[in-house]
């Protein structure tokens, strides 16, 4: 039984899938730094357009499935944008030019600009997360982090092992709730619900720890964490293409800042 959606993965070869995950990560961080610098809506607008173009042309992701994946963050961006417009100190500032006057409600032009900026910033963050992470399979990301950045391999590959357990925990959670319902243990009131939730959480924790222990034993028995130097089955090499993407990606961020500021 499956309780989690299939991951969003590239379905065709594309420029972004051919560069090392760390390259995408560095460019992504550069974009995030630029987008949070204090500036008007021009900077995040430029990056949103550039990000959407990269997503469409360079990512190889199945575009039909992207909107569904981005919908929660899109809604959050919209909500936060509207909230920023409505609850904004500029609305109460008589010096700021107003664009809307409806009875007691007064919306200033500055408030609208601030709302658009916030919403677009969130849109850029969402786009960057998809461009960096959905184009890397977890194995490739771990390999790249270990080989290029010398991340501790125990952490990187241990995380991969832990990721395998997540869908199993989702099934365990459904099972524990099912058993409680069939035993007539129906929580009454808020306190009861919290206690029931706590009990299921405890059961989930116990089973998760047991699974993790078994996984750790299996990994130890296969020589994980040995003092020997580790072999490399999937070398990740940085090439000219990485340099190109790095320069172009950071160039876009700098240009967006220069133009949009």
Cα separation, 239 vs 16, whole angstroms = 13
Structure tokens at 26: 């560095």
Backbone angles phi, psi at 228, to 5 degrees: -60, 150
> Is residue 218 involved in binding another protein (CB under 8 A)?
yes
10-18, 39-47, 99-107, 157-165 -> range binding another protein (CB under 8 A): 157-165
Cα separation, 184 vs 206, whole angstroms = 23
> Is residue 189 involved in binding another protein (CB under 8 A)?
no
User: In b/e form, how buried is each residue of 155-172, taking b as 16+ CB within 10 angstroms?
Assistant: ebbbeeeeeeeeeebeeb
> Is residue 67 involved in binding another protein (CB under 8 A)?
no
Nearer to another protein, 67 or 223 (CB): 223
> Is residue 207 involved in binding another protein (CB under 8 A)?
yes
For another protein, the binding residues in 125-144 under the rule CB under 8 A are 137-139
- Among 134, 127, 157, 128, which Cα is nearest to 145's? 157
35-43, 67-75, 116-124, 171-179 -> range binding another protein (CB under 8 A): 171-179
Backbone angles phi, psi at 129, to 5 degrees: -65, -40
31-39, 49-57, 73-81, 220-228 -> range binding another protein (CB under 8 A): 220-228
Cα separation, 107 vs 128, whole angstroms = 31
Give me the least distance between CB of 192 and another protein, in Å please: 11
Cα separation, 58 vs 49, whole angstroms = 13
| Choice from 49, 99, 160, 254 touching another protein (CB under 8 A) | 160
| Choice from 37, 95, 101, 182 touching another protein (CB under 8 A) | 182
| Chain contacts with another protein (rule: CB under 8 A) | 1-6, 137-139, 157, 160-161, 163-165, 167-168, 172, 174-186, 199, 203, 206-207, 210-211, 214-215, 217-235
């Amino acid at each position: 039984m499956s309780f989690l959606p299939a991951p969003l993965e590239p379905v065709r070869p594309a420029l972004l899938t051919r560069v090392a995950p760390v390259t995408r990560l560095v460019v992504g961080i550069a974009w995030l730094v630029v987008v949070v610098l204090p500036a008007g809506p021009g900077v995040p607008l430029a990056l949103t357009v550039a990000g959407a173009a990269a997503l469409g042309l360079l990512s190889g992701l199945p575009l039909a499935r992207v909107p569904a994946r981005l919908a929660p963050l899109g809604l959050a961006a919209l909500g936060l944008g509207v909230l920023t417009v409505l609850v904004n100190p500029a609305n109460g500032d008589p010096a700021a030019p107003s664009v809307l006057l409806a009875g007691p409600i007064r919306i200033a032009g500055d408030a609208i600009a601030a709302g658009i900026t916030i919403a677009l910033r969130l849109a850029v963050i969402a786009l960057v997360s998809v461009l960096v992470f959905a184009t890397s399979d977890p194995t490739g990301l771990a390999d790249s982090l270990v080989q290029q950045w010398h991340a501790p391999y125990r952490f990187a590959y241990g995380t991969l092992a832990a990721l395998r357990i997540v869908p199993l925990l989702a099934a365990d959670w459904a099972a524990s709730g099912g058993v409680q319902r069939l035993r007539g243990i129906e929580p009454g009131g808020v306190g009861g619900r919290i206690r029931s939730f706590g009990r299921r959480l405890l059961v989930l924790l116990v089973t998760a720890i047991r699974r993790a222990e078994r996984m750790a034993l299996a990994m130890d028995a296969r020589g994980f964490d040995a003092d020997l130097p580790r072999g490399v089955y999937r070398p990740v090499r940085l090439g000219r293409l990485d340099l190109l993407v790095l320069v172009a990606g950071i160039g876009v961020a700098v240009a967006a800042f220069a133009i949009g500021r």
